[in-house]
Structure 1
């Protein structure tokens, strides 16, 4: 189980690091737009991300 958790964490870090590495200007612009969102909008985005992750876990 700990091996899988480490593998999952590594994949998250790789995915999170790709955009700032490949296109820092786009990443900065996206981050600035996210800061301007309301709390409800951010919660909705977070909920959709959680739901997508749970669905992926169920599929695989």
Structure 2
């Protein structure tokens, strides 16, 4: 499968996953967004970094097996 096609598939999967919570439980989604909006920028940035590192590690593990 060409790399560009894999990238588009990955982005589509992100959109699908991002849509799961608001579809399944709009109230919980609203609470989550409100909670995140109160985090200081530094803490939110660190959360983003941790999530990126976890995702990168997971991809590395999956690809290496």
If the TM-score is normalised by the length of the shorter chain, which range does it land in? over 0.9
Q: Aligned to 1:45, which of 35, 44, 47?
A: 47
Query: Computing the radius of gyration over CA atoms, which structure comes out larger, 1 or 2?
Result: 2
Report the count of equivalent residues. 60
Structure 2 Cα separation of the partners of residues 13 and 57 of structure 1: 18
**Aligned-pair distance for 1:37?**
0.3
| TM-score normalised per structure 1 | 0.95
Pairwise CA RMSD of aligned residues? 0.6
